[in-house]
Chains A and B, each alone.
Chain A
Amino acid sequence: MADLSSNFIGIKSPNPFWLASAPPTDKQYNVERAFAAGWGGVVWKTLGAEGPPIVNVNGPRYGAIWGADRRLLGLNNIELITDRPLEVNLREIKEVKRKWKDRALVISLMVPCEEDSWKAILKQIEDTEADGVELNFGCPHGMAERGMGSAVGQVPEYIEMVTRWVKQYSRMPCIVKLTPNVTSILPPAMAAKRGGADAVSLINTVKSITNVDLDHFSPFPMIDGKGSHGGYCGPAVKPIALNMVAEIARHQETRGLPISGIGGVTTWRDAAEFMALGAGNVQVCTAAMTYGFKIVQEMISGLSQYLDEKQMSLDSLIGRAVPNFVEWQHLNLNYVTKAQIDQDLCIKCGRCYAACEDTSHQAIAMSPDRVFTVKDEECVACNLCVDVCPVENCITMRELPKGAVDPRTGKVVGDHADWTTHPNNPMAQAAE
């Protein structure tokens, strides 16, 4: 069994699976049960400033998108930061950390964008012996209207300023949690780095409306006939999160900045993908909220098996796919593939035909007896037929070898050549 022990910015945990700051981590009872189930660490649900706690709605807090059989694909929430008194949270955090020394315990924080507020809260948590802090610059609802959460995360200067205060007034490792509700994730990540952050974590939730009640004409979740936007998470946001993680991992200014990957991690495979694109560990919430704490056991066994099969250490998985994440202009235009249909596996549903004929390149032929074949002279290798085929590996992409003639273009498959040198590109660099 592969060694999954993780050291993320000096914070050690027996595995790289942490529970993200969210309802599952809002009290000692939950966190201890999560640790008992096997979670490597938690980020305690966001604490606010001392004083009267915030108040949550008393109607539904979540909206959802389902697949068949009500499989939860996406979840949206309008819950705010912890609504429990600060002193209760601090007492419990200290107690948990004392009992679970081998687990990571990071405290998520969100206080007003004033130096004194941050100075005060940092002093208050010092005594808990928590392993680090995560600055919640991400929540897109409720707190943002009060000048916190994503309202900070959307302004790089604020990110840098607050991060600097935190590093100034605390010795704890500092993770800056980023909001995806920005045009580019890079300026916020760069700002965090400039401010002295030890790491960034991303993504926080995506501003969203999951659905509309068509009887009451209100967005969901509906509170007394009205709805507000919420933060979207779960498997549906994973592609967005992967891209943002990878952008930070490859950019020259942010390369090397540790990343805690968040966004729809549901299985060991999702975790491995985040880590391959540069995440040093992952944080999970929706999967636990859907299935309970026990899911971490599948993540642990799956990632171990994968690393064993690859004979790879956890460290060497991290960032392994980053060099292959390139800009479009560097993709090889002389890489030519054609779809091919395995007639033995084909069940003759005709979805590839409908997709190609109606919406792509009319490159699949259908015979009267429902035999589907690819027309190489039309196939642009778009892959849509593969994606809509219900049978795994029935349609695959076949690479044309160098020297072969592409029946569609009549051109010989040559060496690597991308857009930077293509004659159709007015900006092409002249061949030397």
Chain B
Amino acid sequence: MSNSPLTPGIVAGRLSADAIARNFSDHEPAFDRHEARVAADRCYFCHDAPCIAACPTAIDIPLFIRQIATGTPEAAAKTIWSQNILGGICARVCPTETLCEEACVREAAEGKPVEIGRLQRYATDVAMAKGLHPFTRGAPTGKRVAVVGAGPAGLACAHRLAMHGHDVVVFERRPKAGGLNEYGIASYKATGGFAQKEVDWLLSIGGIEIRTGVELGRDVTLAELEAEYDAVFLGIGLAGVNALRATGEDKAGVRNAVDFIAELRQCPDLTTLPIGRDVVVIGGGMTAVDAAVQSKLLGAENVTIVYRRGQEKMSASAYEQEHATSVGVRIICNAMPVAIHGNGAVREVEFAYTEETPEGLKSTGETFRLKADQVFKAIGQTLVGAPEGLAVAGGKLAGPSGKVWVGGDCAAGGEDLTVTAVAEGRDAAEAIHLHLMG
């Protein structure tokens, strides 16, 4: 190994293969049977439980936890999947600390909620390992539905449509199905190719055809889909990335965080993936944290997240922020990028401190510079490629319209979370079913 965290520039192999393997192993190991039962026993089986209300997919959490406690995780998995067919990945990536576990009454009582996310993972893992798929395709209706985007929204929609007996074709622009589950989340949250395993498991219901490498607007138009199918669901996500609007953004070494994350997820050997020595991540969300943490885990010496507003406004949860700082990422708040310096390639990023004013966020005039050979932009994604004729509100698709339904990150309403996308895809499928059969 010739490189180390101290090697200048963007290089691969800063850490040994062993260290890389350790760093990217399961972030939160699975419960074993006994651990699951003990964790499950902490659930109070609340009346009209607050955790259910806090779950975008409204999983009956007390019921599934009781099913685990009584030794039937398979039944628990069915309870989970009935509401959230991607319950496996959601158990891994949901910011439970701001959803179900925040609402857990034991969080209020002791600051230590029932570990709902890990219990959900236990149940779904057990059932998937047994090859159980407790849903069957409904009797064929002869209706055909096009789903654009094989991300969480599209997959959830497709599965629910298949349960109702409709034929589904899913169009996906990328080479693989899964959307952000496959391309957009930190590797250590879904180890062992889980995202693809879950897609395969989901498709085992039958009646769903996935066509990859097909992009809406480029390879097929919405008008064509509307003409050919009885209904169309758009779950196209947010394919664009916001610009920094700082000078020098085009310098070498400046990159979208989502592209880095996607490349990392698809990289078969992380010792071959180049990373900078001094990495600066600009943004305050989960993407920023995922990019920063994984930069550190690849062996970057210094990784800094810079967020333009106060820490309390960061959309990455406190838990995610803690995780970042625990691996050695530094978080600087109240600073915005004004220029990227360097001769061809980035060498430093110049920031200005900010303050909140009645007119909005403003520079205080005081600046500082961070050494950087790699910069990741993580200041939010935007909707691109919205088909003409669909209403756009607040930068997102407003639906439904005619025979077109929308859901997931591209759709207005709800947070941009996997679990929200699943809920929207599922609900759109129910609406489509009602429309087709009503």
Residues of A within 8 A of B (CB): 67-70, 347-351, 353-354, 366, 370, 390-391
Q: How far is the CA of A347 from the CA of B44 in the complex (A)?
A: 11
Chain B residues in 8 Å Cβ range of A68: 37-38, 41-42
Within B1-55, the residues touching A (CB, 8 Å) are 34, 37-38, 41-42, 44-50
Q: How far is the CA of A349 from the CA of B105 in the complex (A)?
A: 6
The B interface is mostly helix, strand or loop, or mixed, namely helix
Q: Indicate whether A354 sits within 8 Å of B47 (C-beta atoms), given known contacts A347-B106, A347-B108, A348-B108.
A: yes
Chain A residues in 8 Å Cβ range of B105: 347-349
Question: Is B434 close to A, CB under 8 A?
Answer: no
Chain A residues in 8 Å Cβ range of B106: 347
Selected A-B contacts with CB under 8 Å, 22 pairs: A68-B37, A69-B37, A69-B38, A347-B108, A347-B109, A348-B46, A348-B50, A349-B44, A349-B47, A350-B46, A350-B47, A350-B48, A351-B45, A351-B46, A351-B47, A353-B47, A354-B47, A366-B47, A366-B48, A370-B48, A390-B109, A391-B109
Q: Which interface residue of A347, A366, A391 has the most chain B CB atoms within 10 A?
A: A347
- Which partner residue on chain A sits nearest B38 by CB separation? A69
Q: How far is the CA of A390 from the CA of B49 in the complex (A)?
A: 15
Q: How far is the CA of A332 from the CA of B264 in the complex (A)?
A: 75
Chain A residues in 8 Å Cβ range of B34: 70
Other A-B contacts than A69-B38, A349-B46, 14 sampled, CB-CB below 8 A, are: A68-B41, A69-B41, A347-B108, A347-B109, A349-B44, A349-B47, A349-B105, A350-B47, A351-B45, A351-B46, A354-B47, A370-B50, A390-B44, A391-B109
- Which partner residue on chain A sits nearest B42 by CB separation? A68
What is the CB-to-nearest-CB distance from B235 to chain A, in angstroms, rounded to a whole number? 33
- Which partner residue on chain B sits nearest A353 by CB separation? B47
- Which partner residue on chain A sits nearest B35 by CB separation? A69
Q: How far is the CA of A67 from the CA of B45 in the complex (A)?
A: 16
Q: How far is the CA of A298 from the CA of B105 in the complex (A)?
A: 33
Chain B residues in 8 Å Cβ range of A347: 105-106, 108-109
Within B274-299, the residues touching A (CB, 8 Å) are none
What is the CB-to-nearest-CB distance from A373 to chain B, in angstroms, rounded to a whole number? 14
Q: How far is the CA of A348 from the CA of B109 in the complex (A)?
A: 9
What is the CB-to-nearest-CB distance from A366 to chain B, in angstroms, rounded to a whole number? 8
Chain A residues in 8 Å Cβ range of B38: 68-69
Q: How far is the CA of A376 from the CA of B335 in the complex (A)?
A: 57
Chain A residues in 8 Å Cβ range of B109: 347, 390-391
- Which partner residue on chain B sits nearest A355 by CB separation? B47
What is the CB-to-nearest-CB distance from A283 to chain B, in angstroms, rounded to a whole number? 31
Chain B, 248-278, contact with A by CB distance < 8 Å: what is the 0/1 string? 0000000000000000000000000000000
Q: Which interface residue of B47, B50, B105 has the most chain A CB atoms within 10 A?
A: B47
Q: How far is the CA of A370 from the CA of B48 in the complex (A)?
A: 9
